[in-house]
Amino acid sequence: MTSFAIAILVFIVALIFMGVKMVPQGFAYTVERFGRYVYTLQPGLGLLVPVIYQVGRKVNMMEQVLDILPQQVITADNANVNIDGVVFYQVFDPAKASYEVANLQHAILNLIMTNLRSVCGGLELDHLLSKRDEIGVRVLTIVDEATSAWGVKVLRVEIKDIEPPQELVRAMNLQMTAERQKRAQITEAEGKKQSQILEAEGAKSAAFLRAEAREREALAEAKATQMVSQAVAQGDVQALNYFVAQKYVEALGKFADSNQQKTIFMPLDTSGLMGSIGSINELWKAMKDKT
């Protein structure tokens, strides 16, 4: 009798342990009654009636990643490329993810690969290489709508690599090199053009300044001649002597600066020159007295 009671007690304890379920964080357990889905156990401690109720599927509710295997795609301009990527998804309905599709990950991968070929096949190679984000968004929109019936939310579709054939890569490199050389030649030509324009503008400005300087010098010369003429008309001979002496000295300076003549032989009227210098001195004193 005692042994029977102990056996009954052990059986009850075993049933209790069979009915206690610990669901870890990030998971959800589906509960079945005689093979039919009844409800879902959330993370934490759950109690089941042993034998009648049992755990059906243990579903991962965290965000998961699937690798899209490399596959060959023919673009709109008949270029064969190999393309691969990754997809991020998350289960939001454990019951649908468990009972609406037989193999969830396999179904998601095949759906994405099919739509990826369809989207890439409608683009030319240049667009395919430059619009990876747009391709991912288009595939994501199609796949997310299709997988919502499975209790799955597709979060992102990322294109990892697009590999054209080697012959096409070499042709693209040659084209890129030619384009860069063309741009370099255009830039060099534009630089030369701007340099010539600036040089012409500089020469124009210099010529204008020289002409302006000559004009001012001519005006000053004319004004000096007029002043000397007025002084002579008024009977002031010293101004005339000053003017003649100035021209005399300037002529001597030009002879001295000449590269073709280093030695100058010429008669000099020393007394006349000294007289002109004396007249200049007297004219300077007269001007000081007036001021």
Distance between CA atoms of residues 243 and 231, nearest Å: 11
Q: Ramachandran region of residue 193, left (φ > 0), alpha (ψ -120 to 50) or beta? A: alpha
Question: Which of 33-37, 71-75, 185-189 shows the lowest mean pLDDT across its residues?
Answer: 185-189
| 84 found inside a domain | yes
CB 20 within 8 A of CB 41: no
Any domain includes 215 = yes
**pLDDT tens digits for range 132-148:** 888 889 999 999 998 99
CATH number at residue 159: 3.30.479.30
Residue 247, domain member (yes or no):
no
52 and 113 together in one domain? no
In a domain, 279, yes or no: no
**pLDDT tens-digit readout, 263-279:** 554 544 544 554 555 55
Q: Is 90 exceeded by the pLDDT of residue 87?
A: yes
Residue 204 within any structural domain of the chain: yes
| Strand 44-47 to 80-91 pairing | unpaired
pLDDT tens readout for residues 137-177: 999 999 999 899 999 999 999 998 888 877 766 766 777 77
Asked if residue 207 and residue 137 are part of one domain, the reply reads no
Q: Which amino acid is at 255?
A: F
126 and 93 within one domain: yes
Shared domain check, 86 and 114: yes
Please check the confidence at residue 240 and state whether its pLDDT lies above 60.
Answer: no
Residues 6+ apart with CB under 8 A from 139: 112, 115, 116, 119, 157
> d(Cα 88, Cα 66) in Å, to the nearest integer?
7
* 54 in the same domain as 88: no
Tokens representing residue 84 in the block: 């691969």
Residue 152 bridge partners (DSSP): 91
Angle between helices 237-257 and 270-290 in degrees, nearest 10 = 120
Please check whether residues 123 and 55 belong to one and the same domain. no
How many domains, the chain? 3
Statement: the pTM of the whole predicted model exceeds 0.85: no
- Are 115 and 148 within one domain? yes
Picking from 125, 146, 163, the residue at the C-terminal end of a domain is 163
Specify whether 67 is located in the same domain as 159.
Answer: yes
User: Residue 276 domain-assigned?
Assistant: no
Domain holding 140, by residue range, is 61-163
3-state secondary structure of 113: helix
Is 184 a member of any domain? yes
